[in-house]
Chain A
Amino acid sequence: MTDEFTPTWEDVAHRYGRKIYNFAYRLTGNPDDAADLVQEVLLRVRKGLPSYEPGSFEGWLWRITRNAFLDGIRKKKRRPESALPDGDHHALGSSPSPDEVLASIRLSDNVQAALLKLPYEFREAVVLCDVVGLSYDEIAEAADVPVGTVRSRIHRGRKLLRGMLTWPI
């Protein structure tokens, strides 16, 4: 995406805050880490915007997000403490039946647990593609790897997840 203007950090917060939060949450399984990442990214965006040159804003933003996330991991070096926050139970859509809610919770619990077992490179590629919704080009730019590597990581990540999860096709 090529932007003609530079957004304010408030714009970035409102437009991308949720995506950044979900990215971090699905990578860590930890709502506190996700909140920490949002704060850190917005801080870096605020500092970095004056020197940002209009171009691929999403590429710039996700590179910052990824670097902030990896820096956080290096600092903490600890494993996730819980698979899902209580809030997960609320974001399921309008008026589902109790059985549907329970099934969704079980499924998302399982998928989240499996995600956390993936090697980082695969997990990151899958989350950026399937949770955040970036294209392969955007993921390649954020992760600073060739597009072919992104394609391979996404496929291998999904295959590994498939091996960990069992459900009817």
Chain B
Amino acid sequence: MADLTFDPDEHGELFSAYLDGQLSPDEVTVVSELLDGDTQAIQEFLSLRNIRTKLRLLPEFEVPAALLPDGHLGDRLSAYLDGELVTLEHRRVTKHIVDCADCRVELQELDRARIAVRSLPGVETTMTTEIPATPVPHRRRRIIAGGIGAAAAAALLVGLAVGGSDDPVFILNDLATRHIARASAEPGFAILPAAIEVAAP
């Protein structure tokens, strides 16, 4: 093998397959010997490697979401905002967001809501939260929950206004509405312990 002479037509194909990791061990040995000090072989090898690299660096397109079943991102958007996606998934989601106007809008809304919640001031509880001896009537608990829900909604609005977001009222109004609706609709959903006394209407 010592007098192996490089021939572009004969050996160039070996170089391409070597770059793709598709050679047998014997063929790898041949390539190594060809590249050992032969300037023409090295030049050919580098040139092929260069074109292969350029091909592999071509930008990759995201398939239009409308072509896929339920192509949107769903709860991955929140995980994306919180930095909880691993690198590959993060890249994939980023690409989808670039291509999908619906997910871009949803991401912006989630981000504003996230900022609003995180900018709320801390609250120190001074109220007594003893559990009553007798269960609070269901009707009254719903009123309490609704009242607290409204208070929470107001707090959210204040918090967002302090945060200085561009268009906070729409988002927070929506959040507050959903929050109150949930508090009213779910008997088991209460923000504060039921022992807090609120005057019945």
Listed in ascending order, the chain A residues whose CB lies under 8 Å from chain B are 10, 13-14, 17-18, 20-22, 25-26, 31, 34-35, 38-39, 42, 85, 87-88, 90-92, 94, 104, 107-108, 111-112, 126, 129-131, 135-136, 151-152, 154-155, 158-159, 161-162, 165, 167, 169
The answer to whether B55 touches A155 (Cβ under 8 A) is no
| Chain B nearest CB, measured from A7 CB (Å) | 13
Given A88-B59, A92-B59, A159-B12, A13 contacting B52 (CB threshold 8 A): no
Q: Which of B31-61 contact A (CB under 8 A)?
A: 43, 46-48, 50-52, 54-56, 58-61
**B residues in contact with A167, CB < 8 Å:** 50, 54
| Cβ-Cβ contact count across A and B, 8 Å cutoff | 105
Q: Which residue of B lies closest to A18 (CB)?
A: B63
| Chain A nearest CB, measured from B127 CB (Å) | 48
| Chain A nearest CB, measured from B48 CB (Å) | 6
A153 to B177, CA, bound (A): 63
The answer to whether A169 touches B20 (Cβ under 8 A) is no
- Of B64-72, B77-85, B135-143, B149-157, the stretch lying at the interface with chain A is B64-72
B95 at the interface (CB under 8 A from A): yes
Residue of B17, B58, B95 most packed against chain A (CB within 10 A): B58
Q: Which residue of A lies closest to B96 (CB)?
A: A18
**A residues in contact with B16, CB < 8 Å:** 151, 154-155, 158
The answer to whether B63 touches A17 (Cβ under 8 A) is yes
| Chain A nearest CB, measured from B20 CB (Å) | 6
B13 at the interface (CB under 8 A from A): yes
With A155-B13, A167-B54, A169-B47 already in contact, 5 other A-B pairs whose C-beta atoms are closer than 8 Å: A21-B63, A25-B61, A165-B51, A169-B43, A169-B46
The answer to whether B13 touches A39 (Cβ under 8 A) is no
| Chain B nearest CB, measured from A125 CB (Å) | 11
**B residues in contact with A165, CB < 8 Å:** 51, 54
A159 to B99, CA, bound (A): 34
Given A87-B99, A129-B20, A151-B13, A104 contacting B59 (CB threshold 8 A): yes
